[in-house]
Amino acid sequence: MSSVVNFNHVSFQRKVNDALTAVERTLELERSPRLAEEVDHTYGAKYELVDLTTNAAIIAYMTCLEKLGLNGLILGSIVEGAGDKPLTLRFDVSTTPTFTKEVKVKVPMDRSYEQTEETAGSTVTKVFKAVRQVTEFHYDVELEWSLSIYSGTSVDERTVLMSNKSSSVIVKQAMESSRLRISPRSYELPLTWLLKQVNLDDMASQFMVDTSRESTKTPRRNDDVDRAIDFSRRLSSWIGQIRTGLYGSLARIEGQHDPALEKDRQRSYMSDMSRR
């Protein structure tokens, strides 16, 4: 499916208008940003606009990566060590359930029964709530994830940018742990294109459409923009796969939390663990 089909013009225009409104609050009064289509411009200015907006996107990507631990110092060291090898961002996640204890729990039932006793010439009747005994199996489920970067095929030599371990107790009424386990999963994103657009000395973005290339037909129809869009799609897909896979698995694990007593049927904290 082409990017034109995927493009939602109404949504885009609304977002731009919201952004312009926000920007106008901080700009000087005589400066009033407008959409390009509302301003007289040359055809060459369209290429300049493509360069400007793509560089803005690249800076945003790099800012996000910096927040995730890939700052200029680390990036420079990794790129220097990688040479001509491609760089890949990798997210690993897994859970490990550990059986901790077995607990016998008395669960009140809806019915009751009476018991009559005779003592010292008097009769005493006591009402007892019927209970049933349930065996609970307690598991400590550890969630471990890491974000790393590596060059070429040297996955074992990857540099870890962020990592975390956290755990939650899951109570089941059966001794079975297979559905509490997330087998080790990896999600990878090639960074080669993105890093080629950045000057690592000052972390400035330097994307520019090569207008001299024969394959460059229009500001939109050219190899440079195609590669930029391809990376954007890969990034979006990578994030979506992590979010869907991780939260789906954690929801499945959380659904296994089944303590016998109603007061203990609070949700487990598996979905919160991923945010720690």
Instruction: Please tell me whether residue 207 adopts helix, strand or coil conformation.
Output: coil
What integer is the mean pLDDT of 12-23? 80
Q: Is 157 helix (H, G, I), strand (E, B) or coil?
A: helix
Per the structure block, which two tokens stand in for 107? 């669960």
Residues contacting residue 193 through CB under 8 Å, at least 6 positions apart: 227, 228, 230, 231
- Using the 8-state DSSP alphabet, how is residue 155 labeled? G
Alpha carbon 95 to its chain centroid, in Å, reads 16
pLDDT band at 273 (very low <50, low <70, confident <90, very high): low
64 CB neighbour count, 10 Å cutoff: 12
Provide the whole-model pTM. 0.81
CA distance linking residue 261 with residue 103, whole number of Å: 12
More confidently predicted of 21 and 196? 196
Tokens of 13: 């225009």
CA distance 218 to 251: 47
Could you state, in order of their start, the residue ranges of all structural domains in the chain? 56-100+142-273
Cα end-to-end span (Å), the chain: 37
Residue type, 159: T
CA dist 248 → 79, 166, 186, 236, 255 (Å): 34, 18, 15, 18, 11
Q: In the structure, what pLDDT confidence band is assigned to residue 127 with cuts at 50, 70 and 90? A: confident
Q: What is the pLDDT of residues 166-195, one digit of tens each?
A: 999 999 999 999 999 999 999 999 999 999
Give percent helix, percent strand, percent coil of the chain, each to the nearest 5. 40, 30, 30
pLDDT of 1 higher than 50: no
Question: Two tokens at 93?
Answer: 């996640």
Tell me: the pLDDT tens digits for 256-267?
999 999 888 765
What is the DSSP pairing of strand 198-199 with strand 185-190?
unpaired
